[in-house]
Chain A
Amino acid sequence: MTETRTAVVEREFPHPPEKLWRALTQPHLIEEWLMKNDFAPKVGHRFQLKGEWGGTLDCEVLTLEPGRALAYRWDFAHEDPAYALESVVTFTLTPTADGTRLRMEQAGFRPDQTQAYGGAHAGWKSFFDKLDDLLAKEA
C-alpha cells in the first residue's frame, strides 16, 4: 500500500455522463460549481483553482478519460508546512439506469509527503473556517 485513501463523496445525478463530463471539464462551467479556474482538458496541464476566500489551489491534470474519469493534483501551497496540502482528487463517472453516478475521491498523502500529511488537518480546518465565513457573509 503506497497511498492512503481519504474522503469519498458519491452522488447519483439524473443526467447523462456526457453532460456531467462537460460540467467537470469546461472552465466556465467548473467556475459555476467549484471555483474560478484556468483548467484545460489535457494531461499534464497545470492550472489553478481560485477560491472566493482568496486562496489558490495548484493543480495538474493527471488522468483524462472522457466521460469516465478525471484526476488532478490538488495542492495548497503554504510557507508553513503545517498549512500546506498535497492531495489528488479523482472523479469517476458510472452510467446508471437513470443517469450517472459520480464518485469523488480525495486521496492524501504518500509516505514521502509526511510534512503535508501531518499538517493537512490544521490546513483544512483553516481552509473551511474561511469558506464558512465567506458563505455566512453572502447568505
Chain B
Amino acid sequence: METQADLLFRALADPTRRALFERLCREGEQTVGALTATAGVSQPAVSKHLAALKAAGLVADRHEGRQTHYSPRTAALGPLADWTKDMARFWEGRFDALEDLLNRMDQ
C-alpha cells in the first residue's frame, strides 16, 4: 500500500517536479501557463507533474475562470523533515561515541 510519505518522496524524486515545486515556493501562486513558459516541457507534461504534486499534498489548486492557479503547501514536507531528523539523531549518537573513543585513543 502506498502511503502519503511514498507519494511525497516519489513526487520529489523527479527533478522537473522538484523544480516546479521550488519555483512555487520562491515565487508564490502561478498559473499553469506561467509555469509552462519556463519549465522546459509541454503544458500537458506540466499539468501531469502538478497532478502528482497535488496527490502528494505539495500543491493546492484554485480555479478562476478558465485558469487554474497553483500554490505550494510546504507543510506536506513533514515526513521528509522527520526522516532527516531521524538520521541526524542517529549520527549525533554515533558522534558522541566517536568523541569518547578519540579521548581514549593514544595521540
Name A's B-contacting residues (CB within 8 A).
1-2, 4, 6-9, 11, 13, 15, 19-20, 22-23, 29, 32-34, 82, 102, 104, 106, 109, 111, 113-114, 117-122, 124-125, 128, 131
How many residues of chain B are within 8 Å of chain A by beta carbon? Answer: 35
Q: Is B107 close to A, CB under 8 A?
A: yes
C-alpha gap A125/B92 in the complex (Å): 16
Question: Which of A11, A19, A34, A106 is in CB contact (< 8 Å) with B87?
Answer: A106
**Residues of chain B lying within 8 A (CB to CB) of residue A7:** 84-85, 87-88, 91
Contacts between the two chains (Cβ within 8 Å), count: 91
**Residues of chain B lying within 8 A (CB to CB) of residue A33:** 94, 97-98, 100-101
| CB-nearest residue of chain B to A118 | B6
B89–A118 CB distance below 8 A: no
- Given known A111-B15, A114-B9, A114-B13, contact A106–B102 (CB-CB < 8 A): no
| CB-nearest residue of chain A to B22 | A1
- Given known A6-B83, A121-B79, contact A19–B107 (CB-CB < 8 A): yes
| CB-nearest residue of chain B to A123 | B83
B89–A32 CB distance below 8 A: no
Question: Which of B2, B18, B84, B105 is in CB contact (< 8 Å) with A22?
Answer: B105
**Residues of chain B lying within 8 A (CB to CB) of residue A11:** 95, 99
| CB-nearest residue of chain A to B89 | A128
C-alpha gap A33/B99 in the complex (Å): 8
**Residues of chain A lying within 8 A (CB to CB) of residue B86:** 124-125, 128
A9–B79 CB distance below 8 A: no
Question: Which of B2, B13, B97 is in CB contact (< 8 Å) with A109?
Answer: B13
Interface centre among B6, B89, B99, B107 (most CB of A within 10 A): B6
